[in-house]
Structure formats: C-alpha cells, structure tokens
Amino acid sequence: MTLKDTPEEWEIRATETPFVGNKTSVRTDEVVMPDGSVVRRDYQVHPGSVGILAVDDQDRVLVIRQYRHPVRQRLWEIPAGLLDVPGENPLHAAQRELYEEAHVKAEDWRVLADVYTTAGGCDEAVRIFLARDLSEAEGQRFEAEDEEIDLEHARVPLDELVRGVLAGDLHNNCLVVGVLSLVAARAGDGLDALRPAEAPWPARPFES
C-alpha cells in the first residue's frame, strides 16, 4: 500500500455560492455519494496560504502574537498570509509575508510541509516553508493595520515551542505543523533532504 493522497472528484449535481466575502466565500454542492444518494456539502472556498518557520543561527524561531477573533484568543503564530492572486508563486508570497510581518529576509528556503487545514469544511491549502540565514530586511517597514497593529514579536528556542505544543499551550496550526516537521526532518533524513523552495504544489499550481 502506498501512503499518498490522490486526486478524486465525485459528481456534483448542483452548486451555489450563498456567501461571498472579501477573501473567501461559502459554497454549497450537491454531491453524489457511492450509493447514489445526493447530499449537500457546505464549505469555505479559500485562496490558499503560506506559513514561514524562520529559524535563526541560535536555533530560535521567529514568532508573532496576534488576536484571532473567531477563537477569541491571542495566539502565538509563525508569520503567514494569503496568496494574493490565483497562481501566485508561494515562495514569493512567503518572502513578502516575512518582510511585512517581521521585517526580516532569509537566504535559505525549503518546503517543510503542505497541509489542508480543515479538509472537511474548507479547501484552504497551506505551504509551510523553513527559512534560514536570517537578516534584517532593508527599506521601510510595512505599515500595519487592523489586528496587525497590535502584533508582538519574539524569538523563541525551538525546544521551548515543542514543549508548548505538546503541553497544549500553543494551538496555531502552522506553528504546530512547522515546529514538529522541523524536529522530524532533523531526526530523519536531515534538512538537506527537504524539498526545494519551488517544489510543485498540486493544491495551488503556480509558475516558477
């Protein structure tokens, strides 16, 4: 048995979009089940995202703390953001988000993991990068707005983040996946075996 997710699409008899927001929408599909019955499935349509696990030469991870209204919590997260346009190169998006949220640039980029955040109710796909060889970005700082005005920044040792994840103190999905993927990569084939930064991403195809 090969452990690999595979593309598949069941018949859709009808579809509608009852809500369209600024960045996402909600779609309702009538899907034919294997027994021939037809059921309605509601899900959020999402442009896709990138997350950046930026690690400095002291093995500290760059994290930010931000208020997230849907869960009514201020979460420790890694820099992340939406793909701005369909087909956007995810590496370029990640470099932009690292600059905007932390005013940092990185010289070494690898792909850590590709995930669907909530496959049962949303089609959001996230590519999480490992960024190393960090330095202060040049130029003017990005002007924050809304929740980002109140961002807190920190650099936290990787092992401290691992303990926080396993203790149930840290919940942001990109942080959890990124931190544990880095630990697993180091314990396995090593960071040189990680996919290159511009590896294909079938969930959100792009031009190099």
Q: What is the mean pLDDT of residues 51-63?
A: 98
148 is catalytic: yes
Mean pLDDT of 97-115: 97
Res. 146: pLDDT tops 70: no
CA distance 167 to 39: 39
Residue 79: is its pLDDT beyond 90?
Answer: yes
pLDDT at 142 over 70: no
Q: What pLDDT, on the 0 to 100 scale, is given for residue 149? A: 72
Check whether 147 has a pLDDT greater than 70.
no
Q: Which pLDDT band, with edges at 50, 70 and 90, does 140 fall under?
A: confident
Average pLDDT over residues 96-113: 96
Looking at residues 117-133, what average pLDDT do you find? 97
pLDDT, position 50? 98
Mean pLDDT, residues 88-105: 96
Q: Which residue has the higher pLDDT, 139 or 45?
A: 45
Query: What letters, b where the CB count within 10 A reaches 16 and e where it falls short, cover 175-194?
Result: bbbbbbbbeebeeeeeeeeb
- Per-residue confidence (pLDDT) for residue 57, from 0 to 100: 97
Q: Which is the catalytic residue, given 30, 77, 97, 148?
A: 148
pLDDT reading at 1 higher than 90:
no
Q: How far is CA 32 from CA 10, 38, 43, 168, 171, in A?
A: 6, 4, 16, 39, 35
Residue 30: the pLDDT is 98
If pLDDT is split at 50, 70 and 90, which confidence band does 145 have?
Answer: low
pLDDT digits (tens, 9 = 90+) for 16-27: 999 999 999 999
The residue type found at 129 is F
DSSP, residue by residue, 124-159: -EEEEEEEEEEEEPPSPPP---GGGGG-EEEEEEHH
State the pLDDT at residue 148.
66
Whether 59 has a pLDDT exceeding 80, the answer reads: yes
For residue range 158-174, what is the model confidence (pLDDT) as tens digits? 999 999 999 999 999 99
Alpha-carbon distance of 131 to 15, in angstroms, equals 40
